[in-house]
Structure 1
């Protein structure tokens, strides 16, 4: 039996989260939603997801801290796609230096995210 790939989504915009959840679940993925980086780390540790999607700018713990935790504390190579509306080059480079797999500027379309997700699971 083919089980759905688990994705942790860390996004503090609830409307955007619900849109992504709807689109990704329609494609057969199981989404676990965190509204901040602290919740994301808890979900990651509990569920060992196949992919992590995280905004950079979030309350309590940033997306950069999530990447750092996954790569250094958990020693995980789980694909991490980071997104941000900030678009600051330094922040993007920091994300990649910490171990992000991909970066998307907000706003982006759910279909673009689905294509990138499928590509990472190939």
Structure 2
């Protein structure tokens, strides 16, 4: 079963996405901020990371940079962010994010993007 770490400080959204992705057969690990996300990534070694850019304590950008530089992992990362964050999105891609979705977005679209990224991800 593929493991996904989902970092999102909006509980309603994260529960909705958890439900939707578990229905597709993924195992979800929930983080309410970047600090939790990094701990989960280090302990669970997920197949995919989904993170909001704007979170308390440690931002999604810092999560990406930690995964790519400190941990040297090439795990696919999907970031999402509210509208008008173009600069943040560009930073996220520069740090190594694989995909981006603007909020609000459709959970079905997220599922399609998750499947696409996991289909091309190398088996480690």
TM-score when scaled to structure 1?
A: 0.96
Q: TM-score, with normalisation over the residues of structure 2?
A: 0.94
1:71 to 2:65 alignment? no
**Equivalent position of 1:30 in the other structure:** 27
**Structure 2 gap segments, 5+ residues each:** 120-124
What is the RMSD of the two structures over their aligned residues, measured on CA atoms? 0.6
Quote the offset at 1:109 in angstroms: 0.8
Unaligned runs of 5+ in 1: none
* Aligned equivalents of 1:39, 1:64: Cα separation in 2: 14
The CA deviation string for residues 49-96 of structure 1, in whole angstroms up to 9 with x for no partner, is 000000000000000000000000000000000000143221110000
Q: Does 1:18 align with 2:15?
A: yes
Alignment of 1:1-122 (within 5 A): 4-122=1-119
Count the aligned residue pairs: 119
The secondary structure found in structure 1 opposite 2:38 is helix
